Amino acid sequence: MADEDVKLIDEKGIRLDGRRFDELRPISIEAGVLKRADGSAYLEWGENKVLAAVYGPREMHPRHAQNPSRAVVQARYNMAAFSVPDRKRPGPDRRSVEISKIMSEALEEIVFVEQFPRASIDVFVEVLEASAGTRCAALTAASVALADAGIPMSDIISSCAAGKIDGQIVLDLGKKEDNYGEADVPLGMVPSSGKITLLQMDGNLTLEEYKQVMELAMGACKKIYQLQRDALKRRYSTSLKNFEEMADDTEEV
Ligand code: ADP
């Protein structure tokens, strides 16, 4: 991961894209963007653009994959061929299978799966543009889409990475930082309870550095949680407004 020749932080502590060590890239989230999905979300995070769609709970097929005592959350992460500067070979690969698995496992931690025996809850995430941190973006968007689908769940998951570049601990690594940095730690958590639902690490950290990384990423998850909640509130206040307008129209007839 590390490369001595690439300078990622200048002498004033400013990173290549102008951020300080503890700054996130800009994030925007919109819930309810797809009409045919039961729940959906569109998220932009720096140069990442991610769409999440949720279908279900619905009867699981093939039937032999059903769990008689609970629902199965099936997440599928896919990076579009045009999502990166060099065309990505379409279709699943080891990386997308891995990310789909860790997302499914994380989301099963928050959904009340025991309420839906034999069902599947399908979560599709399409990465339209990728620039490091897409698994965190995908998990963050998927949580909003699940909530938008009205699926009973304990809370939402927020996700963000922190790591080490040029010997310093930083939040939310960008593409070059991911390529040339020393470590990257994606974290997914339920900010209201502190429960950790995803934790991976690429690179090496000392125990002290690891603690700093976790503190930074957990703090960021709390901010992202607020953005997710705001997106859901906007979605439902708009729905409520439309409903009230429809009711007014009916009264006028
Ligand atoms: P994450 O996107 O969660 O950081 P990785 O660390 O595996 O996951 O990937 C870092 C970045 O590398 C991705 O966000 C994407 O920009 C790029 N990338 C990943 N896979 C490919 C690929 N097959 N072709 C080109 N770029 C890729």
pLDDT of residue 200: 98
Percentage of residues in the chain with pLDDT exceeding 90? 91
Predicted local distance difference test score (pLDDT) of residue 169: 98
> Residue 136's closest CA among 6, 45, 234, 38?
45
The amino acid at residue 192 is S
Is pLDDT at 2 greater than 60 in this prediction?
Answer: no
pLDDT of residue 46 exceeding 60, the answer is yes
Q: Ligand 1: which residue has its CA nearest to atom 1?
A: 133
Cis peptide before 85 (omega within 30 of 0): no
167 has a pLDDT exceeding 80: yes
pLDDT at 62: 94
pLDDT at 247 over 90: no
CA of 218 to the centre of ligand 1 (A): 22
State whether the beta carbon of 49 lies less than 6 angstroms from ligand 1: no
249 lines ligand 1 (CB under 6 A): no
Decide: 145 and 77 in contact? Cβ < 8 Å.
Answer: no
Q: Which atom of ligand 1 is nearest to the CA of 184?
A: 6
CA of 131 to the centre of ligand 1 (A): 7
pLDDT per residue as tens digits for the range 118-153: 999 999 999 999 999 999 999 999 999 999 999 999
Nearest CA to ligand 1 atom 21: 88
Query: Is the peptide bond preceding residue 117 cis, with omega within 30 degrees of 0?
Result: no
* 135 C-beta closer than 6 A to ligand 1: yes
- pLDDT for the residue numbered 239: 67
Per the listing, tokens 């690179």 go with 203
Q: What is the pLDDT of residue 71?
A: 98
Residue 1: pLDDT over 60:
no
pLDDT at 60: 96
What is the Cα–Cα distance from 162 to 172, expressed in whole angstroms? 5
Distance 190 CA to ligand 1 centre (A): 25
Q: What is the mean predicted confidence (pLDDT) over 161-188?
A: 98
- Between the CA of 63 and the centroid of ligand 1 the distance, in Å, is 34
Would you state the pLDDT for residue 245?
76
Average pLDDT over the chain reads 95
State CA 176 to chain mean position distance.
20
> Of how many residues is the chain composed?
253
Q: What is the 3-state secondary structure (H, E, C) of the chain?
A: CCCCCCCCECCCCCECCCCCCCCCCCEEEEECCCCCCCEEEEEEECCEEEEEEEEEEEECCCHHHCCCCCCEEEEEEEECCCCCCCCCCCCCCHHHHHHHHHHHHHHHCCECHHHCCCEEEEEEEEEEECCCCHHHHHHHHHHHHHHHCCCCECCCCEEEEEEEECCEEEECCCHHHHHHCCEEEEEEEECCCCEEEEECCEECCCHHHHHHHHHHHHHHHHHHHHHHHHHHHHHHHHHHHHHHHHHHHHHHC
**Closest C-alpha to 42, from 220, 235, 222:** 235
- Ligand 1 test: best mutation among 49, 77, 82, 84, most atoms within 8 Å of CB? 84
CA of 207 to the centre of ligand 1 (A): 26
pTM score of the predicted model: 0.94
From residue 117, how far is each of 10, 69, 197, 233 by CA, in Å? Answer: 55, 5, 22, 30
Q: Whose CA is nearest to atom 7 of ligand 1?
A: 95
Phi, psi at 6, each rounded to 5°: -95, 120
